[in-house]
Amino acid sequence: MKIYNLHSIQKLPISLDEAWDFLTNPRNLEMLTPSDMNFKVFAGADRPMYAGQLLQYTVTPLPGFNTKWVSEITALKEKEYFIDEQRFGPYAFWHHKHFIKEIPGGVSMEDSVDYKLPLGILGRVAHPILVKSKLDSIFEYRQEQLLKMFGPYVAPKKEDKSISKHDILN
Q: What is the pLDDT of residues 49-106, one digit of tens each?
A: 999 999 999 999 888 889 999 999 999 999 999 999 999 999 999 999 999 999 999 9
- Whose CA is closest to 86, among 100, 75, 72, 76? 72
Residue 102: phi and psi, rounded to 5, are -75, 135
Tell me the domains of the chain and their CATH numbers. 4-169 (3.30.530.20)
Identify the pLDDT of residue 161: 63
* pLDDT classification of 162: cutoffs 50, 70, 90: low
| Mean predicted confidence (pLDDT) in 136-158 | 95
Question: Considering the entire predicted model, what is its pTM?
Answer: 0.88
Residue 76: phi and psi, rounded to 5, are -160, 130
* pLDDT classification of 1: cutoffs 50, 70, 90: confident
Identify the pLDDT of residue 59: 94
More confident residue, 160 or 9: 9
Identify the pLDDT of residue 63: 84
